[in-house]
Structure 1
């Protein structure tokens, strides 16, 4: 490989480094803006459980540094969540020069929709799933058992659910991309609806706590989002890259 062949690769790597650096800077700036409110953020995230605890029960910290480190850890995660639009824009700015004009017109709405769906999924988990799941857990505790959830374990639990619901709500985007790329078609997906419904419950079983309420609250929205994805994928079928076209270098 001569020098001329390596120049495009080096330029791509430099551009990639620039975009990654922009993402890191965005997360760091948001983190330092939120750092002062880290305890308040944790209280906000923990409030669905605190409201369901029996009278006299409270959360505990079993680690020496947990009262300090756990809110900081949560603030880092929240900073990444809030930086998602910036991160997606940086990804868009990196890949856009290699796309055709009609592809950019199709991908841009998908990026906006994916960000919105992710936040909707996280909000759905917080406002709908958490109160039901924590209420169920608190009422099923054996008699004589005092509920005292460790703050670190709670954070790991809710972050898993946030990611599970945020990613699961991206189902329409995945369906549209699969149909757009020619991997499948809306007609084929319609024929597989019974399997998709069963698959939604199987996925929910692995991503949610072991209770039927939270599993159903994830499986049903996933299937509904599947139907939404099938509907909108009709507008993307046949609009993928044509071999006789050349990508436009300017945005």
Structure 2
């Protein structure tokens, strides 16, 4: 019986590391929808979130991940809240930012509740032409999400300084600036064109209506004149047809001449 306990203990000691290794699955980083199932560690390349239409699939691919060693990129999504990595404990990248949010049109919230370690090089978090950077300071909920990452970054780097440049960088690319510089004059030009078109349309309509009104009045005036002229002609004709009234003249009868 004693030897049975010894054998069981030795077996547990030998199988323990194998069990831990079997639970871990290291996968190369790529777009999350193409990731293998059951990955726990992501390395060699960033984990990319871009096409997130199949939410159930994305959750299934990410639910087992605990460590990301080459950063996370959230790019050009339409989501308002990013919650796919709330169980991840460690995000790092020695070749760039640990987390990049780029050109997400509606992003307002993110959830990294399980995160304990955040470290990038030379900066931990980057917002590049991203909607969140415009609401992070105005929304209390967005600000809390922001400050949570800042706290984890400060703890990881053992900093006492809050909101260090090593934590966050907000970028505006030249492309987006050029687009903005192009779009503003274009929008103004379109507005001016629309205004001129509206004014032109109104003037054309007003001129058309005015012409119609004048023509209508002219027709009425002509009709009245013709009617009066016709009536005058009729009266003149009737007068010319009626017999002239003559006054008879009395003549004195000639008296016979002779002697009485």
- TM-score scaled by length of structure 1: 0.24
Higher relative contact order (CA 8 A, sep 6+): 1
Which structure shows the higher strand fraction? 2
Q: Which has the larger radius of gyration?
A: 2
